[in-house]
């Protein structure tokens, strides 16, 4: 009779998590780091890394208060990891305090034996003096908000009334949101399938989402979702689910007319393919999915295959994938204009840090201007490719004005001679915080995004 594999010892997970945090500090994506993590440690390392990165500013500040002279990097990241996991919060800690301290010391003994006593002393002092040390650390903005100082300052400039709420929201676990494949069923029917398995889910009736969204009461692994492997459902945030209905049009207040079947559509920065798939689930299109990274484009192909959206869709549409930089139009465009263009542009990802807590520590202040320049180049390159009467949907998963409202205001001014029109259905900035923090719908808040739907006369 098969037996369930034992969980890896906590000291191994702490060591692996400390290495992951060190890699993020050095500028590596956590996704990349986790991909190289031993399979038996990956799940636990991801969970602990997320917890640490959400309070990294505070943990680093407390370590500096207790040990002003930074210990060697391997010791420092282990200390910061343990301090973050001992940090006071709304949720109960993942492990008993004495267990975590003991296992952190064991991890130190395995990594840097001479530092074991030092690690033990620092962590025990933190437990004794935690209230005072945390209060002292929180006098520093980076520790109080767990975001880099430049990020804090930019949010306070862009959103003075909402900045603190935005940073607080970024430090909470996001809901797990599903998008039911419209070619294979309805959200109501899928909700019943979940209920039969004892999983609760709330249907989101907002017409801007197309009526196929469900929010799980409790997150789960995707392989636990009925029909996931067969393409019945995908995981996609509420804000991201707005893209396809906006571009396709029809059916909601202020929307542009619905695209005709077989409309020629460009998805200019398609990877990893969630929005590409959503478009094809809802309409038969002549769609070109473009991405500058050929390796990432394979993820689009994998997504379409899982969802049973092959090269030819049932209503006669076609789908083509091509690796190319959308700005280099001469290298990929066949000269035929598009009826619709989705430009989900590269950005800082400042709106999705609750899902990717490493992003805030990876980005640098000058990244905003550099990415805004790329967005501007993409807009200017793609706008001429749009047919008269066509529409372009500009999207970023960012809450920074430079990547949203300011970008589009400047675009409309540059191209004023062509009279581009901002459609009434354009949501603008979606900040990812509820208007009423006491609303029962707070858990249904989507990620931070910006959308501008632009119509060409």
Would you please indicate which residues are annotated as catalytic (active-site) residues? Answer: 397
Cα angle value 281/284/285 (rounded, 5°): 110
Residue 126 · residue 62 · CB < 8 Å: yes
Cα angle value 412/416/420 (rounded, 5°): 60
Helix (H) or strand (E) holding 25: helix 10-25
Q: Which residue has the tokens 């062509």?
A: 418
- Cβ burial, residue 292 (10 Å; 0-12/13-18/19+): middle
Residue 48 · residue 13 · CB < 8 Å: yes
Number of other residues whose CB lies within 10 A of the CB of residue 199: 17
Instruction: Tell me which DSSP letter residue 146 carries.
Output: S
Instruction: Tell me which DSSP letter residue 68 carries.
Output: S
Distance CA 379, CA 296 (A): 22
Cα–Cα separations (whole angstroms), residue 77 to 167, 185, 403: 23, 47, 33
């Amino acid at each position: 009779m098969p037996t369930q594999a034992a969980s890896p010892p906590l000291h191994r997970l702490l060591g692996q998590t400390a290495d992951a945090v060190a890699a993020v500090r050095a500028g590596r994506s956590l996704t990349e780091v986790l991909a190289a993590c031993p399979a038996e440690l990956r799940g636990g390392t991801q969970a602990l890394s997320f917890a640490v990165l959400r309070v990294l500013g505070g943990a680093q500040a407390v370590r500096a208060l207790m040990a002003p002279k930074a210990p060697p990097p391997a010791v420092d990241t282990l200390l910061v990891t343990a301090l973050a996991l001992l940090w006071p919060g709304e949720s109960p800690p993942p492990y008993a305090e004495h267990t975590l301290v003991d296992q952190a010391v064991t991890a130190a003994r395995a990594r840097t034996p001479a530092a074991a006593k030092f690690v033990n002393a620092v962590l025990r002092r933190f437990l004794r003096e935690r209230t005072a040390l945390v209060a002292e650390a929180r006098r520093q903005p980076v520790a109080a908000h767990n975001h880099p100082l430049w990020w804090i300052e930019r949010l306070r400039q862009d959103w003075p009334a909402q900045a603190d709420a935005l940073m607080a929201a970024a430090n909470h676990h996001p809901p797990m949101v599903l998008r039911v494949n419209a070619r294979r069923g309805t959200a109501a029917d899928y909700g019943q399938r979940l209920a039969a398995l004892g999983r609760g889910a709330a249907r989101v009736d907002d017409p801007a989402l197309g009526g196929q969204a469900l929010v799980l009461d409790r997150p789960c692994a995707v392989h636990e979702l009925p029909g996931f492997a067969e393409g019945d459902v995908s995981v996609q945030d509420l804000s991201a689910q707005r893209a396809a209905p906006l571009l396709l049009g029809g059916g909601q207040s202020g929307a542009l007319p619905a695209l005709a079947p077989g409309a020629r559509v460009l998805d200019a920065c398609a990877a990893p393919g969630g929005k590409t798939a959503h478009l094809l689930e809802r309409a038969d299109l002549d769609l070109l999915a473009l991405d500058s990274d050929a390796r990432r484009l394979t993820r689009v192909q994998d997504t379409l295959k899982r969802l049973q959206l092959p090269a030819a869709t049932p209503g006669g549409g076609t789908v083509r994938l091509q690796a190319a930089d959308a700005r280099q139009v001469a290298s990929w465009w066949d000269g035929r204009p598009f009826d619709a263009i989705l430009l989900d542009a590269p950005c800082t990802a400042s709106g999705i840090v609750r899902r990717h807590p490493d992003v805030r520590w990876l980005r640098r202040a000058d990244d905003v201007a550099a990415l805004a320049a790329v967005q501007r180049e993409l807009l200017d390159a793609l706008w001429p490719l749009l047919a008269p009467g066509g529409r372009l949907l500009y999207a970023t998963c960012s809450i920074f004005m430079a990547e949203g409202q300011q970008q589009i205001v400047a675009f409309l001014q540059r191209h004023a001679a062509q009279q581009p029109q901002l459609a009434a259905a354009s949501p603008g900035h979606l900040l990812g915080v509820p208007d009423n923090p006491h609303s029962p719908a707070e858990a249904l808040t989507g990620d931070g995004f910006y959308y501008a739907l632009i119509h060409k006369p």
